[in-house]
Chains A and B, each alone.
Chain A
Amino acid sequence: MGLARKDLLRMQELTADEIRLILDTAESMKQVAGRDIKKVPALRGKTLINLFYEASTRTRTSFEIAGKWLSADVINVSTSSSSVSKGESLKDTGLTLQAMHPDIVVLRHPASGAAEFLAKQLAASVINAGDGAHEHPSQALLDLFTIREKKGRLEGLKAAIVGDIAHSRVARSSIHGMRKVGMEVRVAGPRTMLPCFIDRLGVEVFTDLERAIADVDIIMMLRLQLERQQAGLFPSVREYSRLFGLTLPRLKGAKSDVLIMHPGPLNRGVEIAPEVADGPYSLILNQVENGVAVRMALLYLLAGGGQAA
Chain B
Amino acid sequence: MRILIAGGRVIDPASGVDEVFDLLIEDGRIVRIGKDVRGAEPPEASKGKRSKAAKNAESAINVDRVMDAAGLVVCPGLIDMHVHLRQPGREDKETIATGTLAAARGGFTAVCCMPNTDPVNDTRSVTEFILDTAKREGAVHVYPVGAISKGLRGEELAEIGELFESGCVAVSDDGRPVMNAELMRRAMEYAGMFDLPVISHCEDLHLSGKGVAHEGIVSTELGLCGIPSTSEAAMVARDILLAELTDARLHIAHVSAAESVRLIREAKARGVRVSCEASPHHFALTEEAVRGFDTNAKMNPPLRSESDRQAILAGLRDGTIDVIATDHAPHTAQEKEQEFDVAPFGVIGSETALALTLTTLVASGTLSLNQAIAKLTSEPARILKLPKGRIAEGADADLTIFDPDREWTVDTSGFASKSRNTPFHGWRLKGGTVATIVAGKVVWEA
Q: A interface vs B, CB < 8 Å?
A: 12, 84-85, 89-91, 109-114, 116-117, 131-135, 167, 169, 172, 195-198, 200-201, 231
Is B132 an interface residue when CB atoms closer than 8 A count as contact? Answer: no
Q: In the bound complex, how far is the Cα of B307 from the Cα of A197, in angstroms? A: 15
Q: In the bound complex, how far is the Cα of B342 from the Cα of A32, in angstroms? A: 42
Q: Determine which of B222, B223, B338, B341 lies in contact with A91 in the assembled complex, contact meaning CB atoms within 8 Å.
A: B338
**Cβ of A111: which chain B residues have Cβ within 8 Å of it?**
339-342
| B222:A134 contact, CB within 8 angstroms | yes
Is B44 an interface residue when CB atoms closer than 8 A count as contact? Answer: no
Which partner residue on chain A sits nearest B338 by CB separation? A89
Is B165 an interface residue when CB atoms closer than 8 A count as contact? Answer: no
**Cβ of A169: which chain B residues have Cβ within 8 Å of it?**
223
Q: In the bound complex, how far is the Cα of B293 from the Cα of A114, in angstroms? A: 9
| B220:A114 contact, CB within 8 angstroms | no
11 residue pairs A–B, Cβ–Cβ below 8 Å = A91-B337, A91-B338, A112-B224, A112-B341, A116-B293, A132-B341, A133-B223, A196-B215, A196-B217, A196-B226, A198-B220
Most chain A beta-carbon neighbours within 10 Å: one of B221, B337, B340 = B221
| A113:B339 contact, CB within 8 angstroms | yes
What's the nearest-Cβ distance from chain B to residue A198, in Å?
6
Is B364 an interface residue when CB atoms closer than 8 A count as contact? Answer: no
Q: B interface vs A, CB < 8 Å?
A: 209, 215-217, 219-226, 292-293, 334, 337-342
What's the nearest-Cβ distance from chain B to residue A116, in Å?
6
**Cβ of B341: which chain A residues have Cβ within 8 Å of it?**
110-113, 132
Q: In the bound complex, how far is the Cα of B334 from the Cα of A53, in angstroms? A: 20
The prevalent SS among residues of B at the interface is loop
What's the nearest-Cβ distance from chain A to residue B372, in Å?
33
Beyond the given pairs A114-B339, A116-B293, A200-B217, 18 more chain A to chain B contacts, judged by CB atoms under 8 angstroms and listed by A's residue number, are: A84-B342, A89-B334, A90-B339, A91-B338, A111-B339, A113-B293, A117-B339, A132-B223, A132-B224, A134-B223, A134-B224, A169-B223, A195-B220, A196-B215, A196-B219, A196-B226, A201-B221, A231-B209
> How many A-B residue contacts, CB cutoff 8 Å?
70
**Cβ of B337: which chain A residues have Cβ within 8 Å of it?**
89, 91
Q: Determine which of B219, B292, B342 lies in contact with A116 in the assembled complex, contact meaning CB atoms within 8 Å.
A: B292
Q: Determine which of A114, A195, A201 lies in contact with B219 in the assembled complex, contact meaning CB atoms within 8 Å.
A: A195
What's the nearest-Cβ distance from chain A to residue B207, in Å?
12
Q: In the bound complex, how far is the Cα of B305 from the Cα of A200, in angstroms? A: 15
Which partner residue on chain A sits nearest B206 by CB separation? A232
Q: In the bound complex, how far is the Cα of B90 from the Cα of A248, in angstroms? A: 60
Q: In the bound complex, how far is the Cα of B220 from the Cα of A186, in angstroms? A: 16
Given the interface pairs A90-B338, A114-B339, the reply to whether A135 lies near B223 with Cβ below 8 Å is: yes
**Cβ of A89: which chain B residues have Cβ within 8 Å of it?**
334, 337-338
Q: In the bound complex, how far is the Cα of B219 from the Cα of A117, in angstroms? A: 17
| B292:A12 contact, CB within 8 angstroms | no
Q: In the bound complex, how far is the Cα of B222 from the Cα of A90, in angstroms? A: 19
**Cβ of A133: which chain B residues have Cβ within 8 Å of it?**
223-225
Q: In the bound complex, how far is the Cα of B293 from the Cα of A91, in angstroms? A: 14
Q: Top 5 nearest A-B pairs by Cβ distance?
A: A113-B293, A133-B223, A134-B223, A111-B339, A195-B220
Q: In the bound complex, how far is the Cα of B221 from the Cα of A110, in angstroms? A: 16
**Cβ of A198: which chain B residues have Cβ within 8 Å of it?**
220
**Cβ of A84: which chain B residues have Cβ within 8 Å of it?**
339, 342
Which partner residue on chain A sits nearest B341 by CB separation? A111
What's the nearest-Cβ distance from chain B to residue A222, in Å?
14
Q: Determine which of B222, B225, B226 lies in contact with A113 in the assembled complex, contact meaning CB atoms within 8 Å.
A: B222
